[in-house]
A and B are shown apart, each in its own frame.
Chain A
Amino acid sequence: MLNDKIVVVDYGMGNLHSVVKSLSRLGGEVLSSSDADIILSASKLILPGVGHFAKAMENIQSLSLDAVLHQAVLENKIPVLGICLGMQLMSQYSEEGQQKGLGWFDANVVRFDFRSTDHLRIPHMGWNQLSFSDPHPMLIDVDLSDEFYFVHAYHWQCNNAAYTVANTNYSYPFASAVARSHIWGVQFHPEKSRMGGEKILRNFLFHRFEDVTE
């Protein structure tokens, strides 16, 4: 872990600062970059993101980062954690701007679909919890009572239930933490989620992704 180089992928959308800061607090060398060589030399990657799906994909393409990310994650098997929009970008397609994603998961991103009544409104903004039954390295030490900070109007729709690590209920349950071997994603902001978030980040940083198999 201590020799790890964590690279937060900078594709020009939002808030890299707090991600870098909370990872640095946990130890290890953390930097943000959009440089292909730096991304490819990372021991672990973070794909962050705040904002609009289609705009984010446009940015990634215009920086030619899509090919770099495919190479890093799919060929070189560098472990990656997608956060919020970053998790959404790992899907096939999003309704937000009708845009194709990186396609690392057989999942689509759809807008919350319910008529807002009472306190449940769209976007889903604020503190919520996870529900999970099966253990996963991402969830070590995570409690059902831990709170996580969410800010999103669109959510994952998994076509393969095996990807789901945890769900969150907001009018209905949706996949809020997902994984496929070394590719992890969370819809909430672990860097803004106090102890619960710190556990998730720590689990990602300390997990040994040695035998990456599909």
Chain B
Amino acid sequence: MYRPRIIPVLLLKKQALVKTKQFGKSIYIGDPINAVHIFNELMADELVFLDIDASREKRSISPQFVKKVGEEARMPFAVGGGINSISAIKSLLQAGAEKVVIGKEAATNPEFIRACTETYGSSSIVVCMDVKQTWSGKQKVCYLNANKIIPQDPVQYAQLIESMGAGEIIIQSVTRDGMRTGYDLSLLQSVALSVQTPIVALGGAGTIHHLIDTYHQVPVNGLAAGSLFVLKGNGVLITYPTNTRSLFSI
């Protein structure tokens, strides 16, 4: 039987692993390749690496770094950060990534996603939509470290991305990032029910129960988290649940 994936999301800053809170200040976690070794041992389903400076610095996540991850990772992994060309995707997939994650370029130029899927098929192309709640309570899709917003609301944007053929959409709550209080269920629900594309939830998970409850309440295909898998309290601790299948009663 098919089961959902549990996905550690690892943030990169100058090739070091970090963790943010609401996309703000980051704390140092450790060496990314060392983390890959630990997640190998813990048999993680999949990993996502996001270079959080790349878009702002107008470059893509480093293919040399991705190659290093590819040499060590025993599980599939996706990489993102500043990807805005077919040639960048080619070098990242050749470096060993299964999938690429596209953020800013999808938000500012959705047609790019169509060009990607026409070359690589939909399965390798993942779009990450960052969503933040404004003071008025409205959910806005944003990009460039949540500094810019786009006109479409999350549902409209997800439908647009789906029409471009993206293989998967990561819905990331900026507001919940690093808070460990649980996913934004109403955001996930509204988007997941408005598209047929696989959905990965990200932002806010603090306990394994947050993952299980969300899976039972929202049709998501993946449950992703940062803090949950790299922090314990305020200290760094890399963990991962065992026996996923029984966790979800599958």
Answer yes or no: do A and B interact. Answer: yes
A129 beta carbon closer than 8 Å to chain B? yes
A189 beta carbon closer than 8 Å to chain B? yes
Docked CA distance A148–B167 (Å): 19
A126 touches B3 (CB 8 A): yes
Docked CA distance A120–B250 (Å): 14
Cβ–Cβ < 8 Å partners of A152 in chain B = 123
Cβ–Cβ < 8 Å partners of B95 in chain A = 17
Within 8 Å by CB of A123, from B167, B219, B244, lies B167
Within 8 Å by CB of A21, from B2, B71, B219, B221, lies B71
B168 touches A125 (CB 8 A): yes
A189: nearest chain-B partner, CB-CB: B76
A14 touches B93 (CB 8 A): yes
A208 beta carbon closer than 8 Å to chain B? no
**Do A118 and B219 form a contact, CB below 8 Å, given A50-B123, A123-B198, A125-B123?**
yes
A81 beta carbon closer than 8 Å to chain B? no
Residue among A21, A117, A127, A153 with max Cβ neighbours from chain B (10 Å):
A127
B196: nearest chain-A partner, CB-CB: A116
A14 touches B1 (CB 8 A): no
**Do A15 and B119 form a contact, CB below 8 Å, given A116-B196, A125-B221, A192-B75?**
no
Cβ–Cβ < 8 Å partners of B121 in chain A = 50-53, 85, 96, 153
* Total residue contacts A-B, CB cutoff 8 A: 119
A16 beta carbon closer than 8 Å to chain B? yes
Docked CA distance A53–B73 (Å): 26
DSSP class of A's interface residues: helix, strand, loop or mixed?
A: mixed
Q: How close is A52's CB to chain B, nearest CB, in angstroms?
A: 4
User: B9-17, B96-104, B134-142, B145-153: which one contacts chain A?
Assistant: B96-104
B174 beta carbon closer than 8 Å to chain A? no
Q: Which of chain B's residues 175-220 have a Cβ closer than 8 Å to chain A?
A: 196-199, 215, 219-220
B74: nearest chain-A partner, CB-CB: A194
Residue among B43, B120, B121, B122 with max Cβ neighbours from chain A (10 Å):
B121
A70 beta carbon closer than 8 Å to chain B? no
Residue among B94, B118, B123, B124 with max Cβ neighbours from chain A (10 Å):
B123
B76 touches A151 (CB 8 A): yes
B97 touches A15 (CB 8 A): yes
**Do A127 and B75 form a contact, CB below 8 Å, given A121-B197, A153-B122?**
no
A132 beta carbon closer than 8 Å to chain B? no
Q: How close is A96's CB to chain B, nearest CB, in angstroms?
A: 7
A18 touches B4 (CB 8 A): no
**Do A123 and B123 form a contact, CB below 8 Å, given A17-B70, A21-B71?**
yes
B124 touches A126 (CB 8 A): no
A51 touches B124 (CB 8 A): yes
**A interface residues, Cβ below 8 angstroms from B:** 14-18, 21, 50-53, 55, 85, 96, 115-129, 147, 149, 151-153, 169-170, 189, 192, 194
A-B contact pairs, 5 of them (CB 8 A): A50-B120, A126-B2, A126-B222, A129-B1, A151-B76
Q: A119-B2, A125-B168, A127-B3 are in contact. List 19 more A-B contacts (CB 8 A).
A: A14-B93, A15-B70, A15-B98, A18-B73, A50-B120, A51-B93, A119-B215, A121-B221, A122-B197, A123-B123, A125-B198, A126-B3, A127-B5, A127-B244, A147-B245, A151-B99, A151-B124, A153-B121, A169-B1
